[in-house]
Amino acid sequence: EVQVVESGGRLVQPGGSLRLSCATSGLTVSTNHMSWVRQVPGKGLEWVSLIYSGGATSQADYVKGRFTISRHTSNNTVDLQMHSLRPEDTAVYYCAAVAAAAGVRFIFDPWGPGTLVTVSS
């Protein structure tokens, strides 16, 4: 069974940095695409960033230059390094494995339980 679990969320001041981590089991990050999706409390889902199995990355415009996704094949984890955090980055951050099936790419399954990042002074 594939499982992902996030960690690292906490209260951080505006302008600060934070590193989130996603631990995986049942999959290998060197052969699976992985992604981060966030959700402002009470609001909808917003894609943040994706790392391909080959290591290339893609991210939403609103985090370019501030957030970096990376993976560690030695321990099968995926990180999201966040800099220059803003109050509007306050959200639950979900890690998700990215699947492809029936000719469709970029299907998020499964998702982790999420980790809350609060950006506030």
Partner 1 sequence: DIQMTQSPSSLSASIGDRVAIACRASQTIGNSLNWYQQKPGKAPKLLIYGASKLQSGVPSRFSGGGSGTDFTLSISSLEPEDFATYYCQQSYNFPLTFGGGTKVEIK
Binding region for partner 1 (CB under 8 A): 35, 44-47, 50, 58, 60-61, 94, 99, 101-114
Q: Which is nearer to partner 1, 12 or 93 (CB)?
A: 93
Q: Which is nearer to partner 1, 104 or 121 (CB)?
A: 104
Smallest distance from partner 1 to CB 86, Å = 18
Smallest distance from partner 1 to CB 65, Å = 15
Six token digits for residue 17: 């940095």
CA of 68: how far to CAs of 8, 25, 52, in Å? 15, 22, 13
CA of 13: how far to CAs of 5, 55, 73, 115, in Å? 24, 30, 31, 17
